[in-house]
Chains A and B, each alone.
Chain A
Amino acid sequence: MYVAVKGGEKAIKNAHDWLAQIRRGNTKISEIKINQLSEQLTLSVDRIISEGSLFDRELAALALKQSRGDLIEAIFLIRTFRTTLPRLATSKPINTSKMICKRRISATFKDIPGGQNLGPTFDYTHRLLDGLKGPKNLVIDTERDRAEDLDMPKILDLLNKEGLIEDQIDTLEEPIDITRSSIQYPTTRAARLQALSRADEGFLLGLAYSTQRGYGGTHAFIGELRIGLVAVNMEIPELEITITVAEIEVTECETINQFTGSKKELAKFTRGYGLVMGQCERKAISMALVDRALRWKELGESYQNVPTQNEEFVISHCDNIQSTGFVEHIKLPHYVDFQSELELVRKIRSQQMKD
């Protein structure tokens, strides 16, 4: 028999107070500041921005501190906060070809206009724990490394001009916003890209890896990867002007994938697209691979019964806040549900014993 109960206030309060103590750690060690996190744990902050889907470095750093460094908990805090903000407007689409790049590379062409620019990358480090080397000044050759020389066209645009890769036509279709209306399947590529851009990095990484290992397989090359600052332009209706209201850092990955062709059409390469807020290179690459794999039907590829060809599977499980909410909720009291199961098992057993 179930009896309604209440209680636990004291237990909960003490649990939260203990949490606050542990979050602070040893008080003999100085407390970490929000701006230290936003300046020194930049890639954790970027991941919170990307998966929280809200570009605000200070808030993301605060969330990182409050969550004791648990990124999913921090993302949860950001997602909750963003629901409290009134939506003022929708921006003009960002123009990534005008990005102020910090990094820009292509794995398909060695000699590209603007060159291969490594930027502040972990690539080519030896992955050895060598103590933290303090910052050093870069060796900048003022003759060679001039700012005005850096005109960097998009690599895929160059292929596109030759007709060697599928074009991306602007259909002028108004994209759905998955934060405002639930996704209906089959869905659109625009809805998928929004979902993938805020998806869990680990989940996307695993799926992307599966496509490379043979569960599907779209054989991607990184046509171009760029990280940098883009302007966010927004119309101010009262003033009848469009202003740059913000500047955000983004990572963009464009893949060049196996070609298609038919009797009607000449062979050409296809594309995968990854665009992520903040510096999240691993995720942008993963997103591009998964985006391309999900396009199998549109590109007339055969169904191979692999996870990355099932958009409902990918999209409905890629959000880590939804996932963690459902997975973790089973730790909360389920006394009533379980009580009914228990009674049922007892009843069946007593029946079986009689038989």
Chain B
Amino acid sequence: MKSEFLKKRKKWLSILSQSDYGQLSSLYSDLKFADKYEWIKKPEHASVMVRGRIGGIGSQFNFGEITITKCVLLLNECMGYGYVQGRSFDKAKIAALCDAHLQSSHYNLVMENIIQKLEKKKNAEIDLIKNQMASTRVDFFALDTQRTKNQKADK
């Protein structure tokens, strides 16, 4: 049971972290929650050192850093964690509120109206990139030379 919950939480936290702030905040305000929450840890900016692998597959090396914002809050006895890319206190707060709601009876409401919509938009963006890239894929044509022309004529 616990692992099933962790698996779902991993997914929604991952979707929230990379979401577009404008979309997240408008979807969240549409739900008109009157949140009474308490800060456990107020939002703060931080960096994460990103690792790469030598040759893509070998030993690790330190590649470079990214900015993130994190916070923790308590909402209706649920601990909400906000870990988001970039430097937006408000985005981290909304992500943490969503995380808390998703542990409550609001699960379906938030899942359907926020998480799934964010995921849909993200998937559409990825599909567009893939389609555009595929449209730049090179088709090679072998050109006829005098020799291949002669060979064809002989047949």
Chain A residues at the B interface, C-beta cutoff of 8 Å: 50, 53-56, 58-59, 82, 85-94, 96-97, 100-104, 110-111, 115-120, 138-142, 144-147, 149-150, 154, 156-157, 160, 168-179, 189-191, 193-194, 197-198, 228-229, 232, 234, 236, 238-248, 252, 254, 271, 273, 275, 277
Contacts and interface: CB of A to CB of B under 8 A. Distances in A.
B92 to A, nearest CB: 11
B93 interface: no
Given A86-B47, A94-B50, A145 B62 contact: no
Contacts of A245: 14, 17, 48, 66, 68, 83-85
Given A102-B129, A144-B134, A150-B130, A243 B6 contact: no
26 contacts: A58-B87, A85-B45, A85-B47, A90-B48, A90-B51, A96-B56, A100-B129, A102-B129, A102-B133, A115-B138, A116-B137, A118-B138, A138-B132, A145-B135, A145-B137, A156-B55, A169-B59, A175-B62, A232-B66, A241-B13, A244-B14, A244-B18, A246-B66, A246-B68, A252-B56, A254-B55
Interface in B31-90: 44-68, 70, 81, 83-87
In the A-B complex, the 6 residue pairs with the smallest Cβ-Cβ separation, listed nearest first, are A168-B58, A168-B55, A147-B130, A145-B134, A190-B61, A246-B85
Contacts of A273: 54-56
Contact of B62 (A171, A173, A190, A244): A190
Interface residues of B, number: 52
Contacts of A156: 55-56
A101 B133 CA distance: 8
The interface centre, meaning the residue of B45, B47, B132, B138 with most chain A CB atoms within 10 A of its CB, is: B47
B46 A87 contact: yes
Contacts of B140: 110-111
B126 interface: yes
Given A91-B49, A157-B57, A175-B60, A146 B66 contact: no
Given A90-B49, A175-B61, A139 B68 contact: no
A138 to B, nearest CB: 5
Contacts of B85: 245-247
Contacts of A198: 64
Interface of B: 6, 9-10, 13-14, 17-18, 44-68, 70, 81, 83-87, 126-127, 129-138, 140
Contacts of A97: 56
Contact of B135 (A141, A191, A240): A141
A245 to B, nearest CB: 5
A241 B51 contact: no
Contact of B17 (A50, A118, A244): A244
A141 B60 CA distance: 40
Contacts of A147: 126-127, 130-131, 134
Contacts of B81: 236, 238-239
Nearest to B88: A58
B51 A93 contact: yes
B54 A119 contact: no
Given A246-B17, A246-B48, 15 more contacts: A54-B47, A54-B65, A59-B87, A85-B47, A89-B48, A90-B48, A94-B63, A145-B134, A147-B130, A160-B57, A190-B61, A191-B61, A194-B61, A232-B50, A247-B85
